[in-house]
Amino acid sequence: MPTVLIRNARLAESGPDDAQTLLDLVKGLALYEHEPDAVKATVADLRRHGTGERPRFEAIIAELDGKPAGFALFFHNYSTWTGRPGIYLEDLFVHEWARGHGLGRRLMARLARIAQDRDCGRLDLWVLHWNKTRAFYHRLGLAHMKEWLPYRADRAGIDRLAADDVAEN
């Protein structure tokens, strides 16, 4: 019986941490999503944004027999309608060699426990339309929100829009 461990990712400026492990897992996800060259993040980026007084994200890592096998990276959002914080799951990934051992479900269960403990009203995520794991999310009780459409401004769009900001007198 394989040993499964779900633990918080450790990020630190010095000493042992999981920044390289997280980056490797992110690259594994990018490969799975047919975008192997899309990852621009670095170990330094993950350390910088995942530590400090107000980290921009948190992550949990799944280990199978002591080897990093998957992760969930998330951050808080806020719902004005529920009046509660929520959790947005940015990435969930389990290496192909580790699938079938319940790691994805265990990562999601841990994330749900974190949401409970933090009095969150929602757990949000996006799933690619072609992703075979959509059925996995349905089995977990997550619902596809057909009436909401995703929109995004990339860095160039942010820069164009920010140029319209006029300083207040």
Which residues are marked as active site? 137
Rounded to whole angstroms, the Cα distance separating 106 from 114 reads 12
Beta bridge partners of 68: 63
The dihedral sign for the CA sequence 67, 56, 81, 127: negative
Report how far residue 125's alpha carbon sits from residue 87's, in angstroms, rounded to the nearest whole number. 9
Q: How far is Cα 18 from Cα 8, in angstroms, rounded to an integer?
A: 10
d(CA 48, CA 56): 9
- DSSP line for 12-47: -SSSS-SHHHHHHHHHHHHHHTT-TT-----HHHHH
